[in-house]
Amino acid sequence: MTELIACLSTGTGTWGHVNRLIQEDKWDKIILITNEYGKENFNKNEKTEFLVVNPNQGIKELKDDIYNKLKEKIKNTEVIINFISGSGKEHMALISALLKLGLGIRLAAITKDGMEEI
């Protein structure tokens, strides 16, 4: 079972990258870390779930928020993550939450050859 967790936040053109990543592989579950705007405006598929956070909170609070919302959702021992979209603070909070959950992480991105692990 392959689970993708991606940030869906700021960055010009990054939503297109995330959308293509979602479409490029046969994910069992997709979790998008986003804000209310992302939840309301991104077209998700049936495997996609939004994890809505407030990116304006402090980094420790953001990490705790992500951790508490993810701990019941992830059943595997590792996940694939993508950081094309979002801020450094969101990325750090997500990595910290995933490591606190004891999960292994792999990074994936869209390249000229399609979806690749990097």
Phi and psi torsions of 111, nearest 5°: -120, -175
| Domain-located, residue 22 | yes
Distance CA 95, CA 92 (A): 5
Question: Do the bridges between strand 78-82 and strand 3-8 make them parallel or antiparallel, or are there none, so unpaired?
Answer: parallel
| Domain-located, residue 77 | yes
The 10s digit of each residue's pLDDT in 59-88 is 999 999 999 999 999 989 999 999 999 999
Mean pLDDT of the chain: 94
| Domain-located, residue 50 | yes
What pTM does this model have?
Answer: 0.93
| Domain-located, residue 2 | no
| Domain-located, residue 24 | yes
- CATH number for the domain including 19? 3.40.220
Distance CA 114, CA 23 (A): 10
Q: How confident is the model at residue 1 (pLDDT cuts 50, 70, 90)?
A: low
The tokens describing 108, both together, are 């994936």
Domain extent, residue 78, equals: 7-117
Q: Which helix (H) or strand (E) holds 51?
A: strand 48-52
| Domain-located, residue 1 | no
Contact criterion met (CB below 8 Å) for 35 and 55:
yes
Answer whether residue 95 shows pLDDT above 60: yes
Domains identified in the chain, total number = 1
